[in-house]
Amino acid sequence: MKNFIKAFSLTLAMCVLLGLGYVLVLWAFAKVAGPGNGNAEVVTVDGKVVGAANVGQQFTKDIYFWGRPSCAGAGYDAANSCGSNKGPTNPEYLAEVEARIDTFLVHHPYLERKDVPAEMVTASGSGLDPDITPQSARVQVKRVAAARHLDEDKVATLVEQSIERPLLGLFGPAKVNVLKLNVALDKL
């Protein structure tokens, strides 16, 4: 019984130390070294929060740039973050991708099937990806400009200005945050 009490006490102490201590160390590190002092980056318009910049938002109208499809339920539900868990040869998955390609081509009739960016018809691992590649934004310029009755060059310039370059030019890909781009687009 004496060994049981020691083992139980040690287990309880480690749970507290590692359960709380680890979280506190991560929180302190985020406060010191994280972007925004460890707080989520929110996007505001006229003082009103319209979304979190690090979580994808659902845009389906032609007047907006679209993000990646989400497997996280309707509206990029962060509480339901997940991938589809369907392999690349799964017939159901292939049917979903084909349907997404067909939908994308309906809204982008100037593209050929081979020009549809893969990321625009496949969901990210979390289903909450807020960014798209610059190329995926560029293929949508014509649709967005036509829907808003804007000059394509003006919309293309906005896309180029919205590209976030890799850290130090080396780390990570170039990307475009869809929410930030659409907020900037609304300001035009």
Residue 43 has what DSSP assignment? E
Instruction: Looking at mean pLDDT, say which of 41-45, 127-131, 171-175 comes out highest.
Output: 171-175
For residues 13 and 141, the answer to whether their CB atoms sit within 8 Å is: no
Spatial separation of the C-alpha atoms in residues 126 and 73, rounded to whole Å: 11
pLDDT tens digits, one per residue of 8-20: 999 999 998 888 8
pTM of the model: 0.76
For residue 40, what pLDDT band results from cuts at 50, 70 and 90? confident
Round the average pLDDT of the chain to a whole number and report it.
86
**76 vs 106, which has greater pLDDT?**
106
Give per-residue pLDDT as tens, 90-149. Answer: 898 899 899 999 999 999 999 999 999 999 998 877 777 889 999 999 999 999 999 999
What 3-state class would DSSP assign to 54? coil
- Of 33 and 98, the one with more pLDDT: 98
Interatomic CA distance for residues 50 and 39, integer angstroms: 16
- Across the chain, which distance is largest between two alpha carbons, in Å? 80
pLDDT of residue 72: 67
| Residue 172, token pair as written in the block | 């990570």
Structure-model confidence comparison of residues 30 and 165, the more confident one: 165
pLDDT given for residue 124 in this prediction: 77
Cβ neighbours, 10 Å, residue 166: 11
pLDDT band per the 50, 70, 90 thresholds, residue 170: confident
Buried b (16+ CB within 10 A) or exposed e, 13-25: eeeeeeeeeeeee
